[in-house]
Amino acid sequence: MTSVKISFINQKTVRFILVGAIGAIVELVLFSGFVRVGLGILYSNFIAFHCAFALCFFLHYHYTYQRPYEGTRRIFGGFVQYAALMYVQLIIGSILLWFLIEKFYWIAEIAKIVQIGIVTPLSYIIQKLVIFRLRNES
């Protein structure tokens, strides 16, 4: 029975990584494109983040955590929790991007990759333990 649980955890982790990679690629491509056309680092990050944010919530809800449809209120509540986490991530990530690019003169795309790599592990833990946790129905 333990092997089934371990397999389930590993499968969910792989799904999280896959969705995260898709979101990161979308965010990185959009960020890079916006920066290259002169939109500015913070605006580019803000817009790219929101596109990836919407895509990742949908994919995490239906693919990673395979949540059954539980009614509009429960989905909306999960979305609000996810949005709160993602906005904290956006603020921290934006500060980190600004610092790496403006103070250390990193290439924007490299800074974005590092920024995603720093904020993603914490995001995974919070999503798993708080937002998409399975509730025991007693």
| Neighbouring C-beta atoms of residue 32, cutoff 10 Å | 16
What angle separates helix 41-59 from helix 72-98, to the nearest 10 degrees?
150
Q: Rounded to two decimals, what is the model's pTM?
A: 0.77
* Cα–Cα distances in angstroms (integers) from residue 116 to residues 8, 55, 113, 126, 129, in the given order: 26, 16, 5, 15, 20
Mean pLDDT throughout 117-122? 85
3-state secondary structure of 133: coil
Reported as a single tens digit per residue, the pLDDT across 69-112 is 667 777 788 788 888 888 888 898 899 999 999 999 999 999 99
User: Domain extents for the chain?
Assistant: 2-131
